[in-house]
Structure 1
Amino acid sequence: MGDDDSEVGERDRTLALLWRGQGPPVPRRRGPTPARTLDEVIVAAIALADADGPTALSVRSVAAAVGMAPMSLYTHVPGMAELADLMVDQLYLAMPRPAWGRRRWRGRVRAVAEANRDLLRAHPWLVEVVALSRPPLGPGQLAKYEHELAAFDGTGLSDVDVDAALTFVLGFTQQQSLAERAVVATRRDSGATDAQWWAANGPLLASVIDPARYPRAVRIGEAAGAAQGAAYDPDAAFGFGLERVLDGLSALVEG
């Protein structure tokens, strides 16, 4: 977050804001009735983060994006920590949750990972603010959790193991999304694609890297690069890793 965020939010008020309309009314701070709604503030903040990243979020920038004075923003949220929770929960609430039907558990869990990856790709800043520990327990988070837990129905796992298995899958997806974000940032900052970088630097590397000294690095690196079209391919890494995650869970389920 930007320069106006606080490290510790007013969690009771955050929960009340997350469940607004479904619980006791949220006390509003004194002052005139806001010209903008809380939902408009959340949408504007998400758009700002999508465009410029989470560091662009501050009381001033969000207020400007929604068209209000900075101090007026406090009539909606206590601070940026609470707003971040609201943003995350709003995106969770909007996630598609199709019925699982008769799909086998492995296909269902694969779909969970892919849906979370799609969300993190659409909103890359999320990977920096999403917490697997003590997430904002709003309607979006709980609807997402309920749907994803159901992907493990019929596996025979205990409740504790189902929760751990889901955390395992989500953790893998977040790590892969972080790696992909780093690749995107490198390509953006360098101004060159992987193919352009290798075309420019390949001759130099070929002249200094001795295949006799690094036989595996040269042989396997060339094979992987030729297969992927780059030294690292986020899609290939995600696909390979997800299958290994599912293989590991299969051992647990079958055991």
Structure 2
Amino acid sequence: MPLPGSEPPYRRIAAEIRRRIDLGELRPGDAVPSARRITREHGVAIATATKVLALLRAEGLVLTRPGAGTVVAPDPAAPPRARRGAERPEPELSRERVVRTAIALADAGGLPAVSMRQIAAELDVATMSLYRHVRGRDELILTMADVALADAPLPAVQPAGWRARLELLARAQWSTYRRHRWLPHVISIARPQMLPQGMAHTEWALRATAGLGLDRQLRWHAAITLIAYVRGIATNLEMRAQAEQDTGLTDEQWVDRQVATFQQIIVSGGYSTMAALTAEGDVELDLDSVFEFGLRRLLDGYAALIEPRPPGAEPAVSPGR
């Protein structure tokens, strides 16, 4: 813990890297120290090293590029024509290019990698020129979400049966979240946004239960619960990817290294049920298996409400009754 009034370690380390960028020791496109290197050189925890890179991303000084890691961002203060060369015309800017560039940045480095300055640097234009196409970052991120959903449209014709329809929707959303790990952090269940493509997903879920004799309360709850389930599991995708990038370890490799520590805690903490199950052998447990298990059980639960019931059985009731 830093002393009162002292600078937190992550800010001190970020300031050092910032100084190297300002002095030109690290030039645009150069790799900056990775989280693992920061932990080794400064003797800090991986969480602190991650905060260093997150701060530099938020300041627009670095960005994440696939295959290259975290690199120094191009300098948007430099005149665009000077960077491209006088013989090359300034590229035509459009809302589509701005949004697509922002999505690429988010896919590579998460939402913290998306800033107007970084987008301008990628497009080799002045930052202020972006505001002719989007009003600001908040509008941009919502547009990114809608475009990401539009890139994976649902079929024009629904398959037969409510279960097949809901399962198709859930798998389509899961696949989209896997491609855009930042997306579940944008979608709100409590305060739905004005996203036409997102509304199309809700419409699909509601149509899936049409004609089954269910009341509106049950149909709305079934639709939103399914969407919330997929989103909830998907919020872990970005954290997993970031952890792999920072540590260089897959989930399986990380667990293998922690086995002894977990076993010690399980035994010393008196977690007898966990100890017994662990002693029986390994279990294939990852985000995909959790998604598959939960989706099947959720739809099984819906079936108990929706499928025809024996004569005299109680009818399906709305949530809360």
Partners in 2 of 1:101 and 1:158 — Cα distance? 21
Q: Which amino acid aligns with 1:227?
A: V
Q: Say which one has the larger Rg.
A: 2
In 2, are the aligned partners of 1:176 and 1:238 still within 8 Å (CA)? yes
Helix, strand or coil at the partner of 1:137: coil
Match of residue 253 from structure 1:
306
Helix, strand or coil at the partner of 1:226: coil
CA offset at residue 125 of structure 1? 0.7
Match of residue 233 from structure 1:
286
In 1, are the aligned partners of 2:266 and 2:274 still within 8 Å (CA)? no
User: What is the identity percentage for the equivalent residue pairs of Structure 1 and Structure 2?
Assistant: 33
- Structure 1: where are the runs of 5+ without partners? 5-33
Is residue 121 of structure 2 the alignment partner of residue 64 of structure 1? yes
CA offset at residue 151 of structure 1? 2.2
Question: What TM-score does the superposition give when structure 2 sets the normalisation length?
Answer: 0.61
- Bigger fraction of residues in helix: 1
Partners in 1 of 2:265 and 2:145 — Cα distance? 48
Cα distance change on mapping 1:67 and 1:221 into 2, 3 Å: same
Partners in 2 of 1:142 and 1:194 — Cα distance? 34
CA offset at residue 248 of structure 1? 2.2
Partners in 1 of 2:115 and 2:254 — Cα distance? 36
Helix, strand or coil at the partner of 1:63: helix
C-alpha distance after superposition, 1:117-149 (max 9, x if no partner):
111110001111112244342432333332332
Q: Give 1:69-108 correspondences, 5 Å limit.
A: 69-108=126-165
Is residue 89 of structure 2 the alignment partner of residue 54 of structure 1? no
**Number of matched pairs:** 222
CA offset at residue 199 of structure 1? 4.2
Partners in 2 of 1:73 and 1:51 — Cα distance? 21
Cα distance change on mapping 1:146 and 1:194 into 2, 3 Å: closer
C-alpha distance after superposition, 1:141-188 (max 9, x if no partner):
333332332222333322333222111011111111123433343343
Partners in 2 of 1:101 and 1:139 — Cα distance? 19
Helix, strand or coil at the partner of 1:227: coil
In 1, are the aligned partners of 2:101 and 2:122 still within 8 Å (CA)? yes
Partners in 2 of 1:71 and 1:108 — Cα distance? 45
Match of 2:235 among 152, 155, 178: 178
Is residue 245 of structure 2 the alignment partner of residue 188 of structure 1? yes
Cα distance change on mapping 1:200 and 1:146 into 2, 3 Å: closer
Cα distance change on mapping 1:49 and 1:205 into 2, 3 Å: closer
Q: Give 1:110-189 correspondences, 5 Å limit.
A: 110-189=167-246
Partners in 2 of 1:62 and 1:241 — Cα distance? 38
Helix, strand or coil at the partner of 1:78: coil
Helix, strand or coil at the partner of 2:283: helix
Partners in 2 of 1:86 and 1:152 — Cα distance? 29
Q: Tell me which of the two structures has the higher relative contact order, counting C-alpha pairs closer than 8 angstroms and 6 or more residues apart.
A: 1
Q: Which amino acid aligns with 2:235?
A: L
Match of residue 13 from structure 1:
none
Q: Which amino acid aligns with 2:297?
A: R
Match of residue 217 from structure 1:
274
CA offset at residue 115 of structure 1? 0.8
CA RMSD of aligned residues (A): 2.9
Question: What TM-score does the superposition give when structure 1 sets the normalisation length?
Answer: 0.75
